[in-house]
Structure 1
Amino acid sequence: MKRLGVVLFIVWLFAGCDTNAVYKEYTDIDDGKWYIKNAPSFTFEIADASEPYNIYYNLRNSLSYGYYNLYLTRYLRDATGKELESRLDELILMDPKTGKPNGDGLGDLFDHKVLMKRNYRFPKPGKYTIQIRQYMRQDPLLNILSVGITVEKAGSTN
């Protein structure tokens, strides 16, 4: 039985790999306590600005997370630090009526991949940074274990 659990974990791990991703990165949240001042940044390179890209939030939370949703503010900046966009987004992590978790789960951990931008065209090739800040008015926000982004070519399939 133990061996089956290990095999299932390995299958789950590899099933979550994004082979079409141009960039994928996570930042762990220390002790599952996400402070408002902790705003992880993710810097990536766009080589071809003529193609559209899909950008996703990556999030891992514990089943003990106290809300069905999560408000995040995101900032997109170019290589010079110029802010191209800032926006408040709501991620729905659980069904508000039933409390059933969305995302892929293993034990009491759930991974979410939520669309941030569809068919986005970057202004020019180069480095870009996305910074993410929790906006839930609870400081620290408990049971969020990691946050990140995935950037993939829009023509890619998952």
Structure 2
Amino acid sequence: MVMIKNSLLALGLLFLLSSCDEHRFFDEYKEFNGKWNKDSVVTFSFEQKDTVSRYNMFVTMRNTNSYPYNNLFLIVQLQQPGTKLVKVDTLEYQMANPDGTLMGEGFSDVKESALWYKENVNFPKAGKYTVSIQQAVRQAGNVTGIQELDGVTEVGLRIESKE
């Protein structure tokens, strides 16, 4: 009887977790070995056929407690299919609370953050889109960027449909 209850509980939990992600259109990560070099550009490509629906786009980060800064600067580029047109955004995100503890979700020393990139967007052309992400963290008063950003284990791109 206990085994049946546990099986039903596990099945219900699996169903609940899978149904929470029904709006996911694209979700992919690139791994790092605990450091993100400023010359390492992370690139994601996806096929989009729907030119009508609206989407939310997120840069997703997984980092450890060895991440040394309160914030994160990124340069994100979006290229439309069949063109050389690239939209470039320089973005800043808060990564730590005032006491220095990392923000984000997670029970261990690895925290995951979903950082807003674009909200309520549509893709005007059908075809292959490419998103490139590069870290651009700098220390105060220093023009050159941090060569290796400690504590970054994965960088990702997540796209969710709004419907």
- TM-score normalised to the size of structure 1? 0.82
CA RMSD between the two structures = 2.0
The 8 Å contact of residues 81 and 126 in structure 2, kept in 1 or not, is answered as no
CA distance in structure 2 between the partners assigned to 1:18 and 1:86 by the alignment: 28
Specify which of 85, 93, 96 is matched with residue 94 of structure 1: 96
Look up the SS of the partner of 2:114 in the other structure: strand
Q: Does residue 27 of the first structure (1) align with residue 35 of the second (2)? A: no
CA distance in structure 1 between the partners assigned to 2:70 and 2:22 by the alignment: 30
The 8 Å contact of residues 69 and 92 in structure 1, kept in 2 or not, is answered as yes
Report the identity percentage. Answer: 30
Look up the SS of the partner of 1:128 in the other structure: strand
| Segments of 4+ moved more than 4 angstroms | none
The 8 Å contact of residues 118 and 154 in structure 1, kept in 2 or not, is answered as no
CA distance in structure 1 between the partners assigned to 2:99 and 2:106 by the alignment: 16
The 8 Å contact of residues 95 and 103 in structure 2, kept in 1 or not, is answered as yes
Residue in 2 that maps onto 1:135: 136
Deviation of residue 101 (structure 1)? 2.1
Q: Deviations over 1:80-116 (max 9, x none)?
A: 3523310100121112x22232210221100001111
The alignment of Structure 1 onto Structure 2 pairs a total of residues equal to 142
Deviation of residue 75 (structure 1)? 0.3
Residue in 1 that maps onto 2:140: none
Deviation of residue 46 (structure 1)? 1.3
Note the residue ranges of structure 2 that are not aligned, 5 or more in a row: 1-9, 138-144
Residue in 2 that maps onto 1:3: none
The 8 Å contact of residues 79 and 130 in structure 2, kept in 1 or not, is answered as yes
Note the residue ranges of structure 1 that are not aligned, 5 or more in a row: 1-6
Residue in 2 that maps onto 1:44: 46
Residue in 2 that maps onto 1:145: 153
Query: Structure 1 pair 142/83, CA: closer, same or farther in 2 (3 Å)?
Result: farther
Look up the SS of the partner of 1:63 in the other structure: coil
